[in-house]
Amino acid sequence: MPDLPMPAIDSGHVFFFGLGYTAFRLARRMRDAGWRVSGTVRSAEKASALEAAEGFAVHVFDGTAPIAATEPFAGVTHLVDTIPPRDIVVPALERHRGDLRACSSLRWVGYLSTPAVYGDRQGGVVTEDEPPTPGSRRGALRAEAERAWLDAFSGSGVAVQVFRIAGIYGPGGGRNALEQLKAGKARIVDKPGQVFNRIHVDDIGSILLASMARPRDGGIYNVADTEACPPGDPIVFAAGLLGIDPPTPVPFDSAELSEMARSFYSECKRLDTTRLSEELGVTLTYPTYREGLRAIAAGGLSV
């Protein structure tokens, strides 16, 4: 595995609303660099397991009630929200807006959003300066959540950033085409002209760290690799790495897709990521799925 960048930032105390796939990998990286790590998950079992195995302070939070601990944000300097909007658009703000505004140590907030806020751009290139034009309920909720975070600390010294993240892949958890092929779960949905960007989970971590080193209140960043491509390309490439045949493409119109997947395939855009390099100084470790999948294959598969 390549060495991952760790910008020179004074280590502090990072709090993750939602210690899921992306947050967990960044949390480990920050802990190993000397940070205190706290966060939330939805079940007491997962919280205890994470505390025991990783040394994080983990609270149970499912959005229906505030975190039970007194002062869960004491000393928190950086906050990352990874919880997707559902019935409650931003559970963290719904339950803890006052606590977070009163947290005098807090200086940086990052909200993980999605390019669904742009709606369908018929394959066009989209930059962060274009206003959100969501075409789905999913996108509309995300745009609302972004606005809520961007407005939450106005008039304070806290810098709030929004990250619009492409399709996440990476090692473990069935989150890559290699594991999906081995598990017999890889599918190629054929929709002519359809392309989308992806991003390796550890490049997301590097981008968040780069933003922590260069905060900009109100900063919005497309978080994506350098190659928007058809959905099947990484699967064909992964099959080549495994020395097996890729699955036969299924036409979009006859593919059995979840509501979420159908909404995803109904939109097509290419994400401009100039801001990542020019403003944050980021060089992706995995500029395309090829570098990412090769590294995952070299690291061994957890299936």
C-beta closer to ligand NAP: residue 66 or 123 = 66
C-beta closer to ligand NAP: residue 104 or 185 = 185
C-beta closer to ligand NAP: residue 82 or 211 = 82
C-beta closer to ligand NAP: residue 49 or 102 = 49
Cβ density class 26-45: b for 16+ within 10 Å, e for less: bbebbbeeebbbbbbbeeee
**In the complex, what is the shortest distance from the CB of residue 26 to ligand NAP, in angstroms, rounded to a whole number?**
9
Residues of the shown chain interacting with ligand NAP in the complex, contacts defined by CB under 6 A: 18-22, 41-43, 46, 61-63, 82-84, 86, 91, 112, 114, 165, 167-168
Q: Which amino acid is at 303?
A: V
Cα end-to-end distance, the chain, whole Å: 18
Q: What is the DSSP string of the chain?
A: -PPPP-------EEEEES--HHHHHHHHHHHHTT-EEEEEES-HHHHHHHHHHH--EEEE--SSS--SSSSTTTT--EEEE-PPPSSSS-HHHHHHHHHHHT-TT--EEEEEE-GGGG---TT-EE-TTSPP---SHHHHHHHHHHHHHHHHTTTSS-EEEEEEE-EEE-SSTT-SHHHHHHTT----EE-TT--B-EEEHHHHHHHHHHHHHS--TT-EEEE--S--B-TTHHHHHHHHHHTSPPPPPEEGGG----HHHHHHHT---EE--HHHHHTT----SSSSHHHHHHHHHHT----
**In the complex, what is the shortest distance from the CB of residue 210 to ligand NAP, in angstroms, rounded to a whole number?**
18
**In the complex, what is the shortest distance from the CB of residue 38 to ligand NAP, in angstroms, rounded to a whole number?**
13
C-beta closer to ligand NAP: residue 48 or 154 = 48
**In the complex, what is the shortest distance from the CB of residue 62 to ligand NAP, in angstroms, rounded to a whole number?**
5
**In the complex, what is the shortest distance from the CB of residue 187 to ligand NAP, in angstroms, rounded to a whole number?**
15
C-beta closer to ligand NAP: residue 94 or 156 = 94
**In the complex, what is the shortest distance from the CB of residue 142 to ligand NAP, in angstroms, rounded to a whole number?**
9
C-beta closer to ligand NAP: residue 41 or 140 = 41
**In the complex, what is the shortest distance from the CB of residue 243 to ligand NAP, in angstroms, rounded to a whole number?**
27
By beta carbon distance, the residue nearest ligand NAP is 20
C-beta closer to ligand NAP: residue 35 or 111 = 111
Beta bridge partners of 79: 15, 109
**In the complex, what is the shortest distance from the CB of residue 117 to ligand NAP, in angstroms, rounded to a whole number?**
11
Contact, 142 vs 85, CB < 8 A? yes
